[in-house]
Amino acid sequence: MTKTTSEITKSDPWQQLKAHTRARIAIGRVGTSLPTKEVLDFGLSHAMARDAVHLALDVDVLAKQIEELGITTLQVQSKAENRPTYLLRPDLGRQLSEKSAEHLRTIRLSKPVTLLIVVGDGLSSLAVERHVLPLLVEIQQQKPSDWSLNPLVIASQARVAIADEIGEILGATITAMLIGERPGLSSPDSLGIYLTYQPKVGLNDANRNCISNVRPEGLSYATAAKKMLWLIKEALRIKASGVTLKDESDVAVIDATRPLLT
């Protein structure tokens, strides 16, 4: 007697857990193998992760969208001239090209920059395209009234540490790097935020605070903006970031009426 598909495929008894995570759990089995649907889904996720790494960011379109929010933008490039070089030479993605560095040195800002937001394509331009704009909207809504987001720098072929050089040249007190994170098989579009107090060339990850997995399926834009603002406020208060600064934003309330610098 021929068995039906439902009789051949055995469901995992932990099905209810799938409602709480995108991790590959409770996927069932067919004999000693996976169901065909799960094999195909895995292949699709793998292809999406590979595409996210290689997909180029349309910087001009992003700059126009950001400027429509009332934020001025500057565009820079790392020493990695193209995507293959960027992937093979992470060190070049951490450094500004000579042309971009010289361009930033010629800029004369009207007032000191307390916070400098840098947007980098990173390892997932898809994350930047999908999440930077709604995150910026949340930041604008939650930020202290005396805080300006101008200018914002968009960096191409960028790694996290490139924000240190950018911030040092522009004299920023703190940088917030919004960058596409390394894609996973369930998250090809995860956005990360890296905060660094007194940025300068030569710092390492111990000097930064990271907020990761910013996307609707992970950390919401509102929560990410809240955490980011709290950490910035505390970094300015204690004059440090990284391992010295502990994230207690979940039990703290931001007072938007207080100035960032006292």
Neighbours of 204 (CB within 10 A): 9
What is the pTM for the complete model shown? 0.82
Residue 1 predicted with pLDDT over 70: no
Q: Does 13 score more than 70 pLDDT?
A: no
User: Is the pLDDT assigned to residue 252 strictly greater than 60?
Assistant: no
pLDDT value at 43 more than 90: no
Whole-number percent of the chain with pLDDT over 90: 66
Is 59 within 8 Å of 75 (Cβ atoms)? Answer: yes
Query: At residue 127, what is the residue type?
Result: A
**Could you give the CA distance from residue 65 to residue 56 in angstroms, rounded to a whole number?**
17
Alpha-carbon torsion, ordered 8, 14, 15, 17, to 10 deg? -160
What does the pLDDT average to over 95-103? Answer: 97
106 pLDDT exceeds 60?
Answer: yes
Mean pLDDT of 66-92: 96
Which residue from 244, 237, 179 is spatially nearest to 254, judged by alpha carbons? Answer: 237
Task: Look at residue 142 and tell me whether its pLDDT is greater than 50.
Answer: yes
Report the pLDDT value the prediction gives residue 111, as an integer from 0 to 100: 86
Q: Is 54 buried (19+), middle (13-18) or exposed (0-12) by CB count in 10 A?
A: exposed
Give 262's pLDDT tier (boundaries 50, 70, 90): very low
Task: Give CA angle at 54 (53, 58), nearest 5°.
Answer: 105
Q: What integer pLDDT is reported at residue 149 of this predicted model?
A: 95
**pLDDT at site 108:** 86
* 155-212 pLDDT, tens digit each: 999 999 999 999 999 999 999 999 999 877 667 889 999 999 999 999 999 999 999 9
Distance from C-alpha of 52 to C-alpha of 126, rounded to nearest angstrom? 6
Q: What is the pLDDT of residue 10?
A: 58
Q: What is the pLDDT of residue 33?
A: 79
CA 116 to chain CA centroid, nearest Å: 15
Is residue 107's pLDDT more than 70? yes
Nearest to 30 by CA among 12, 57, 17: 12
Q: Is the pLDDT of residue 229 over 50?
A: yes
Question: What residues does each domain of the chain span?
Answer: 54-251
CATH number listed for the domain at residues 54-251: 3.40.50.11240
Q: Is the pLDDT of residue 79 over 60?
A: yes
Residues comprising the chain, all counted: 262
**Residue-averaged pLDDT of the chain:** 86
- State what percent of residues in the chain have pLDDT above 70: 79
Average pLDDT over residues 110-137: 94
